[in-house]
Amino acid sequence: MASVMVINDVIDIRFTGWERVWVGREQFALPLTAVRHVALVDNPLRLARGARRGYVVSGFAKIGVWGLYGGPRQLVAARRAEPGLHLVLDRASAGGEFDQVVLSSPAAPGLVETITRAMAARA
């Protein structure tokens, strides 16, 4: 399961060994200034849509990159029965690769609160 930490003005996402294979990276560092919207979601699996380069176990997990040929480009590491973190990004400010990040984490409620506070502080 990916770990997420908010350090200073950066959301640091680190992927586990087998997740790295499907997302194509070990880490994704996202500046808080790139986040346009943050939300807690009950079922993050439903958010990943479209063509993909990734791993799917229907109804259990989605890991990889979604939206390859249209729609929002999403970085996804989501599992069933875990709360989710949904970040809508300014693609250019986020490095030009992704429009959204969808993650499962037991810490998602606290992360949403932390990111929301940090976004309000910079506004």
Give the pLDDT band (50/70/90) at residue 61. Answer: very high
For residue 56, count CB atoms less than 10 angstroms from its CB and return exposed for 0-12, middle for 13-18, buried for 19 or more: middle
State the Cα–Cα distance between residues 39 and 111, nearest whole angstrom. 10
pLDDT of the residue at 121:
85
**What pTM was estimated for this model as a whole?**
0.94
Average pLDDT over residues 4-12: 92
pLDDT in tens, 28-47: 999 999 999 999 999 999 99
pLDDT tens across 84-122, in order?
999 999 999 999 999 999 999 999 999 999 999 988 887
